């Protein structure tokens, strides 16, 4: 018995050790982000959770006469911070104070104080977000690139990625880890005041460049905890910028088929590329505000696309559900609708108390499930962990020696140079000879504000001159290039810089006309003053009467006029375009746009930009390049003979060079394939001119017969190549199921049997899908 007893004790000891060993293997201590989030969530009260879902603008917590303004210099208000962070547990802050840029040092000091005050009992850091649109928008000294529309014109994926990388670096140098960019809206309507914030009118182009932007912001592996990268925020999901009226934040009518065929691809591509957050469309689709539409926010975005990141509203858009759109009777119902639809964080901006109070009450009343709150807060906390904010809540500007460096500025210059698009060059008037005397004139000739556009040091870009004085306007750049003694400047027309963007006045117009008689050539700089969002709405797409008058009178002098267009959208120029000898489209090229333009004007750089949209000829003919066959018909036979006029001023993809290129030997790997096959396409491109040049090789695909009337052609591939005179390169493309498919009437992506046509340059080839 004693032996038996000893064996039993020994056995028990062995069993205990075995159990402990197994337990440690079965339940290891986990340090994954998901486990950290889950553990933290369990400790949080309902009030703390709701606070995490609230985002306020910086002016709310600064000293000033009210929540909408701040004293200068900016000083944080301890009482306001205590109310926001300790009483209401607010988890996120955005924007700058007084709508103006700050130095990296000021940003560091402000956000350091916010993080010190805002962590609460659980030490949860504040998530700071900013609109860094074409550079670190609200940081003095930051590197400004061309706006997205200009980046699209480069057709250069590497430049787009590099712009986002540098913007991420300089945003982190400002202590900010979250960037509300890129804009992935489809810029199909030239009337819209934000088309310049897009990559243009084509879904494929927007998808390709959007992915590059996400990679640039977040890094190739989406490691946003890297102190040189930020979390990107795709916007504005979904169907923004195609409002029926052409005006910002007004209703759109979009079929489900069109929504999926044209507007969804860029967002899907960015989601697949790992983008961490997404901002919602401020408008309405088919009468329903997108912020209150669970079919878009939950069924499509979450369930179908599999998006697992943070969903944030745009500015004040939950309040808009009752104040503007009248789909909710009060704030409480608006909050209920938006949160239940799938919103994680409300960009409240100012009045955060009603949001928090109403959401807490809604949960207690059972009208919003706490599981929905937990879901939202999980997305928020996960992003904070992934950004590394629990370890380093604010990055220090002293650790970013490349901020505003020559290396970064050269990247911005190169992007501007490759964006500028040569639209007309009658009798090879360009490039100009450096020995020529020139008149530089027009309202955009001597303005940094117009070169940068909106989202530049301030929301509307109205403070650019204060911050960008060291850079070169078009006038200054031309003077630097050929000498001041060869340049005459008379404005002719000027903008009212303290008024609305479209306010302008004649400014020595007669003197400008007189001066034209004494020079060899005229550089006429026309376009728009800076704007964005609703303040940029317009009622007439024609370029203004005064600018049109100036152009006509200058052309009447008989001197060659080089029209330089510096504009956010394609303002119609057909009233005087025939009288222009040369036309260069600059878009909004940023702080180095003047230098890049001067180099192109005088032949040091060969232009290589391509239009990212159709440039319309008339305001009642706003037709996209990928239109339906019925929109470009020939004359119909019989008594009802008519034609459908498709006549843009310049078509999507158009852009000239100072050299010439020849396309030849377009080859397909097969004439017949199945839907699951890959078709290899090759073409030879030769520089047949006398100057080195870059050419964009674009592949267009036409589905000749389909169950839904097919677009006449669609961009399905592009590559930018550099060729020396006499050099030839072979460019290869692959056509797969993804390129051949379309969304049918049942909202399914399908490839239907039939004939297809490939077009590259002036070459075409057909193939059949069996």
Distance CA 112, CA 125 (A): 11
For range 117-139, the mean pLDDT:
97
Output the pLDDT for position 11. 42
Pairing of strands 277-280, 661-668: unpaired
| pLDDT greater than 60 at residue 102 | yes
Output the pLDDT for position 28. 45
Distance CA 263, CA 261 (A): 6
Is the CA virtual torsion 185, 186, 191, 195 positive or negative?
A: positive
Q: Other C-beta atoms within 10 Å of 490: how many? A: 19
Helix, strand, coil tally for the chain in percent (to 5): 35, 20, 45
List pLDDT tens digits, range 345-379: 999 999 999 999 999 999 999 999 999 999 999 99
For range 726-737, the mean pLDDT:
98
Active site residue 314: yes
Output the pLDDT for position 319. 98
Whether omega before 182 lies within 30 degrees of 0, making that bond cis, reads: yes
Q: Coil, helix or strand for 321? A: helix
Distance CA 56, CA 351 (A): 8
Q: What is the DSSP string of 388-409?
A: TTTT-SS--GGG-TTTT-HHHH
Q: Coil, helix or strand for 159? A: helix
What is the pTM (predicted TM-score) of this model? 0.95
Spatial contact of 384 and 618, defined as CB atoms under 8 Å apart: no
| pLDDT greater than 50 at residue 8 | no
From 314, 325, 452, 595, active-site residue: 314
Q: Coil, helix or strand for 569? A: coil
Distance CA 516, CA 561 (A): 10
What's the DSSP call for residue 282?
A: S
For range 410-421, the mean pLDDT:
99
Spatial contact of 461 and 497, defined as CB atoms under 8 Å apart: no
Output the pLDDT for position 31. 86
Output the pLDDT for position 644. 63
List pLDDT tens digits, range 137-149: 999 999 999 999 9
What's the DSSP call for residue 303?
A: I
For range 431-436, the mean pLDDT:
97
Phi, psi of 487 (to 5 degrees): -120, 125
List pLDDT tens digits, range 463-521: 999 999 999 999 999 999 999 999 999 999 999 999 999 999 999 999 999 999 999 99
Spatial contact of 532 and 455, defined as CB atoms under 8 Å apart: yes
Q: Other C-beta atoms within 10 Å of 619: how many? A: 13
Q: What percent of the chain stands above pLDDT 70?
A: 95
**What's the angle, vertex CA 723, arms to CA 718 and CA 728, rounded to 5?**
85
Q: Other C-beta atoms within 10 Å of 339: how many? A: 27
List pLDDT tens digits, range 27-68: 445 689 999 999 999 999 999 999 999 999 999 999 999 999
Q: Other C-beta atoms within 10 Å of 561: how many? A: 26
| pLDDT greater than 50 at residue 529 | yes
């Amino acid at each position: 018995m004693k032996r038996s007893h000893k064996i039993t004790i020994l056995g028990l000891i062995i069993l205990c050790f075995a159990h402990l060993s197994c337990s440690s293997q079965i339940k290891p201590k986990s340090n994954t982000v998901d486990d950290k989030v889950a553990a933290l969530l369990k400790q949080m009260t309902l009030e703390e959770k709701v606070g995490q879902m609230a985002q306020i603008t910086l002016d709310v917590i600064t000293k000033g006469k009210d929540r909408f303004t701040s004293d200068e210099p900016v000083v944080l208000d301890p009482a306001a911070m205590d109310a926001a962070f300790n009483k209401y547990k607010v988890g996120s802050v955005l924007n700058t104070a007084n709508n103006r840029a700050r130095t990296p040092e000021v940003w560091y000091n402000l956000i350091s104080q916010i993080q010190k005050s805002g962590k609460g009992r659980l030490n949860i850091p504040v998530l700071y977000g900013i609109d860094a649109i074409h550079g670190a928008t609200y940081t003095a000294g930051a590197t400004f690139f061309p706006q997205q529309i200009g980046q699209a014109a480069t057709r250069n994926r590497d430049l787009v990625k590099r712009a986002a990388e540098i913007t991420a670096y300089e945003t982190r140098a400002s202590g900010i880890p979250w960037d509300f960019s890129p804009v992935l809206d489809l810029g199909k309507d030239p009337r819209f005041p934000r088309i310049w914030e897009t990559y243009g009118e084509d879904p494929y182009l927007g998808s390709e460049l959007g992915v590059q932007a996400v990679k640039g912001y977040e890094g190739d592996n989406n490691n946003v905890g890297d102190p040189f990268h930020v979390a990107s925020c795709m916007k504005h999901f979904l169907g923004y910028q195609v409002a029926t009226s052409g005006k910002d934040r007004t209703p759109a009518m979009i079929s489900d088929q069109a929504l999926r065929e044209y507007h969804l691809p860029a967002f899907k591509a960015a989601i697949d590329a790992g983008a961490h957050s997404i901002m919602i469309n401020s408008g309405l689709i088919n009468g329903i505000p997108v912020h209150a539409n669970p079919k878009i926010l939950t069924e499509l975005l979450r369930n179908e696309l599999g998006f697992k990141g943070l969903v944030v509203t745009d500015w004040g858009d939950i309040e808009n559900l009752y104040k503007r759109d009248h789909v909710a009777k009060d704030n409480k119902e608006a909050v209920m609708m938006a949160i239940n639809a799938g919103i994680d964080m409300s960009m409240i901006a100012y009045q955060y108390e009603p949001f928090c109070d109403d959401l807490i009450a809604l949960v207690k009343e059972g009208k919003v499930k706490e599981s929905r709150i937990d879901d939202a807060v999980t997305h928020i906390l996960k992003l904070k962990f992934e950004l590394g904010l629990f370890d380093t809540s604010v990055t220090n500007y002293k650790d970013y020696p490349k901020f505003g460096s020559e290396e970064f500025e050269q990247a911005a210059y190169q992007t501007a140079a490759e964006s500028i698009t040569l639209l007309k060059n009658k009798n090879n008037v360009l490039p100009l000879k450096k020995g020529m005397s020139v008149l530089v004139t027009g309202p955009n000739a001597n303005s940094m504000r117009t070169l940068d556009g909106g989202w530049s040091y301030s929301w509307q870009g109205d403070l650019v001159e204060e911050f960008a004085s060291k850079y070169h306007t078009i006038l200054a750049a031309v003077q630097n290039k050929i000498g001041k003694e060869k340049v005459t400047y008379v404005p002719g027309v000027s903008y009212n810089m303290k008024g609305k963007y479209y306010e302008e006045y004649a400014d020595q117009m007669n003197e400008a006309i007189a001066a034209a008689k004494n020079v060899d050539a005229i550089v006429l700089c026309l376009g728009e003053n800076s704007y964005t969002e609703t303040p940029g709405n317009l009622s007439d797409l024609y370029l203004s009467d005064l600018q049109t008058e100036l152009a006509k009178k200058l052309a009447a002098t008989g001197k060659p006029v080089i029209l330089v267009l510096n504009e956010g959208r394609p303002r119609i120029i057909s009233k005087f375009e025939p009288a222009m000898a040369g036309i260069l489209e600059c878009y909004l090229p940023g702080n180095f746009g003047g230098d890049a333009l001067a180099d192109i004007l005088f032949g040091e750089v060969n232009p290589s930009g391509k239009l990212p949209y159709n440039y319309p000829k008339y305001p009642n003919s706003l037709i996209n390049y990928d239109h339906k066959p019925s929109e470009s018909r020939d004359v119909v036979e019989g008594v009802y003979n008519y034609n459908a006029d498709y006549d843009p001023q310049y078509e999507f993809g158009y852009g000239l060079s100072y050299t010439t290129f020849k396309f030849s030997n377009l080859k397909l790997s097969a004439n017949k394939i199945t839907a699951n096959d890959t078709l290899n396409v090759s073409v030879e491109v030769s520089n047949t001119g006398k100057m080195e040049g870059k050419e964009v090789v674009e592949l267009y695909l036409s589905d000749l017969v389909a169950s839904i009337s097919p677009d006449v052609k669609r961009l399905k591939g592009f590559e930018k190549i550099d060729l020396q005179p006499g050099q030839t390169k072979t460019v290869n493309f692959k056509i797969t199921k993804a390129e051949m498919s379309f969304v049918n009437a049942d909202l399914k992506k399908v490839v239907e049997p039939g004939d297809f046509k490939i077009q590259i340059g002036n070459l075409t080839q057909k193939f059949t899908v069996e």
